[in-house]
């Protein structure tokens, strides 16, 4: 059956349609959108700039559940503002959490006991703060050729914030883990419209859960989490893709058997052996695939933007680079189609999990089109790929980014 | 049920947490009523336009089957066929 809340939310569009308040697509757009040409045609024509409550206008890919990506202009700094941070939900029922009654229940058959934590309880625990990239597993899915189904993201399903909260291991220590606890499972307050839709729950291996950097965060860039980024508390799994960063966290369970529900398998899987990854999730591996884990090394040019007009003369190529937590060691820029590469200057180091800005001074000598490319390498020697590593779900797109601008 | 939906909708628009969802107009063609009636309960219809026009017939069949089998969408066999035919004819390759 469908729940009442689902009917209510879903009804809004129908009711407007029935009352004659239709908006033509051009009227719905709040401003011009420069979307990558490689996106599916329907994704390009369907996207609009739209402001969710508490948010600046972001690029709307779907209204319900809300999937909104951050425009490229916000990636010129290493920290992404809260009101421009991307929004990604799998399921459409997203309750406003009342902090007076909200709590996180911790337990499970892999734990020795049970405990509950209110927001005040979390704040009583020793706090930790770190800058980390939250990146949707499917970021850049829309650029896949051939296209694969899903939310057809461009470049902006990611952001970097300073997350402050309690260490997950301190919550787990309150209940005590049995030695059989192989995974830690997380659930949030959101749910599907139909009670037959699998609830969005995710697990991570216990070794990752007890790392000092895995947090239950209640602050983002010095402010409470925005509702649409997981208020009042969400999981922070630095280095790993956003699928594990459970929003509106309500339940933490220690498991003695691998979690087998839909969102762990078949969802969020990558083929075995195709990607050069270090972090493994062995309790979930099969003969053919494995859960996505750490973020692949990547970079993005944000200045000039693709298609921009620039004056002839000296210009600065700028952007950001990031990886799964090993740290960026270099970014190289090429202005001759990848034949030669020059080292860019790296900006401030906000930590191994954060965006790292880079810049490279270039002389735009001739009028006409100029293409520049950027390629990041991390401290364990991993670098970006020149050809897409295709996979059915559209994950881990880290093809060298290229922009073409007009010099005049 | 449609009357119920419309009646309930009025109460929603004031909710601060709800996105101001604009109507998504799909192509007017046979089967659109089944698409609107069955699909929009769980997700906005921009999911369809966004994922087009690249899917071939087999992919649209697989997507409709996934909504029913994996996500539990309560869609009759007859409606599922009408929906898949609409998607292939209007949003397929």
Average pLDDT over all residues of chain A? 92
Distance CA A329, CA A295 (A): 16
pLDDT at residue A34, as a whole number: 81
Contacts of B41 in chain A (CB under 8 A): 2, 6-7, 10, 193-194
A40 close to B (CB below 8 A): yes
pLDDT at residue B19, as a whole number: 52
How far away is chain A from the Cα of B71, in angstroms, using its nearest Cα?
4
CB distance A12–B9 less than 8 Å? yes
Domain A298-407 CATH class label: mainly beta
Domain B23-91 CATH class label: mainly alpha
Q: Can you give the pLDDT of all 93 residues of chain B as single tens digits? A: 444 444 344 334 333 444 568 889 999 999 999 999 999 999 999 999 999 999 999 999 999 999 999 999 999 999 999 999 999 999 999
Beta-carbon count within 10 A of A305 CB: 15
CB-CB: which of A7, A46, A64 is closest to B21? A64
A24 or A399, higher pLDDT: A399
Residues 116-155 of A with CB under 8 A from B: 146-147, 149-152
pLDDT digits (tens, 9 = 90+) for A203-241: 999 999 999 999 999 999 999 999 999 999 999 999 999
Mean per-residue pLDDT, A265-277:
95
Contacts of B48 in chain A (CB under 8 A): 42
Task: Name the CATH code of domain A104-291 (choices 3.40.50.300, 3.90.420.10, 3.40.30.10, 3.10.105.10).
Answer: 3.90.420.10
CB distance B24–A15 less than 8 Å? no
CB distance B74–A1 less than 8 Å? yes
- Domain boundary assignment for chain B: 23-91
CB distance B8–A198 less than 8 Å? no
Beta-carbon count within 10 A of A102 CB: 18
CB-CB: which of A42, A94, A150 is closest to B49? A42
CB distance B52–A41 less than 8 Å? yes
- Domain boundary assignment for chain A: 24-88, 104-291, 298-407
- The residue to which tokens 């703060």 are assigned: A129
Q: What is the 3-state secondary structure (H, E, C) of chain A?
A: CECHHHHHHHHHHHHHHHCCCCCCHHHHCCCCCCCCCCCCHHHHHHCEEEECCCCCEEEEEECCCCEEECCHHHHHCCCCCHHHCCEECCCCECCCCCCCCCCEEEECCCECCCEEECHHHHHHCCEEEEEEEEECCCCCHHHCCCCCCCCCCCCCCEEEEEEEEEEHHHHHHHHCECCCCCEEEEEECCECCECCCCCCEEEEEHHHHCCCCCEEEEEECCEECCHHHCCCCEEECCCECHHHCCCCEEEEEEECCCCCCCCCCCCCEEECCCCCCCCCCHHHCCCCEEECCECCCEEEEEECCCCCEECCEEEEEEEEEECCCCCEEEEEEECCCCCCCEECEECCCCCCCCCEEEEEEEEECCCEEEEEEEEEEECCCCECECCCCCCCCCCCCCECEEEEEEEC
A44 to chain B: closest CA residue = B50
Residues 53-72 of B with CB under 8 A from A: 53-55, 59, 63, 70-72
How far away is chain A from the Cα of B85, in angstroms, using its nearest Cα?
18
Mean per-residue pLDDT, A121-146:
98
pLDDT digits (tens, 9 = 90+) for A299-328: 999 999 999 999 999 999 999 999 999 999
A226 to chain B: closest CA residue = B17
pLDDT at residue A21, as a whole number: 35
CB-CB: which of A22, A96, A151 is closest to B17? A96
Give the CA distances from residue A350 to residues A83, A151, A325, A330, in Å, rounded to whole numbers and listed in that order: 20, 30, 12, 15
Contacts of B10 in chain A (CB under 8 A): 15
CB distance B22–A23 less than 8 Å? yes
């Amino acid at each position: 059956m469908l729940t009442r809340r689902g009917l209510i939310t879903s009804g809004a569009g129908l009711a407007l349609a029935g009352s004659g308040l239709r908006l033509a697509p051009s009227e719905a757009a709040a401003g011009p959108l420069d979307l990558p040409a490689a996106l599916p045609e329907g994704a390009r024509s369907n996207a609009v700039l739209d402001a969710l409550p508490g948010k600046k206008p972001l690029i709307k890919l779907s209204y319900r559940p809300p999937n909104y990506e951050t425009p490229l202009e916000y990636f010129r700094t290493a920290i992404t503002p809260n009101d421009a941070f991307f929004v990604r939900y799998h399921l459409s029922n997203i309750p406003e959490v009342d902090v007076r009654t909200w709590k996180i229940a911790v337990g499970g058959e892999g734990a020795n006991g049970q405990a509950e934590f209110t927001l005040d309880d979390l704040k009583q625990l020793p706090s930790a703060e770190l800058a980390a990239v939250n990146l949707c597993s499917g970021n850049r899915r829309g650029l896949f050729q051939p296209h694969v189904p899903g939310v057809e993201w461009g470049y902006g399903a990611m952001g970097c914030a300073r997350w402050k909260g309690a260490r997950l291991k301190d919550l787990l220590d309150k209940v005590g883990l049995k030695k059989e606890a192989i995974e830690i499972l997380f659930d949030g307050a959101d749910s599907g419209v139909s009670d037959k839709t699998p609830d969005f729950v995710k697990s991570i291996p216990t070794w990752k859960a007890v790392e000092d950097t895995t947090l239950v965060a209640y602050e983002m860039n010095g402010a409470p989490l925005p509702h649409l980024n997981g208020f009042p508390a969400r999981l922070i799994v630095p280095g790993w893709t956003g699928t594990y960063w459970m929003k509106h966290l309500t339940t933490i369970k220690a498991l003695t058997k691998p979690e087998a529900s839909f969102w762990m398998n078949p969802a969020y899987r990558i083929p075995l052996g195709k990607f050069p990854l270090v972090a493994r999730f062995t309790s979930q591996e099969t003969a053919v695939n494995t859960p996505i884990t750490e973020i692949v090394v990547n970079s993005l040019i944000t200045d000039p933007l693709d298609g921009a007009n620039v004056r002839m003369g000296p210009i600065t190529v700028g952007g950001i680079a990031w990886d799964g937590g090993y740290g960026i060691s270099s970014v190289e820029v090429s202005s001759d189609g990848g034949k030669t590469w020059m080292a860019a200057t790296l900006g401030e180091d906000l930590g191994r999990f954060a965006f790292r800005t880079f810049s490279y001074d270039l002389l735009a000598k001739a009028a006409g089109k100029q293409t520049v490319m950027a390629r990041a390498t991390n401290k364990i020697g991993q670098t970006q790929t020149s050809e897409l590593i295709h996979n059915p779900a559209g994950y881990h797109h880290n093809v060298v980014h290229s922009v073409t601008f007009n010099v005049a | 049920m449609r009357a119920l939906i419309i009646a309930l909708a009025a109460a929603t628009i004031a909710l601060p947490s709800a996105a101001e969802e604009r109507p998504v107009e799909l192509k007017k063609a046979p089967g659109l009523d089944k698409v609107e009636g069955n699909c929009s309960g769980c997700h906005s219809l921009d999911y369809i336009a966004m994922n087009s026009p690249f899917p071939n017939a087999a992919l649209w069949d697989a997507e409709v089957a996934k909504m029913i089998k994996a996500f539990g969408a309560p869609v009759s066999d007859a409606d599922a066929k009408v929906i898949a035919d609409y998607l292939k004819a209007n949003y397929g390759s």
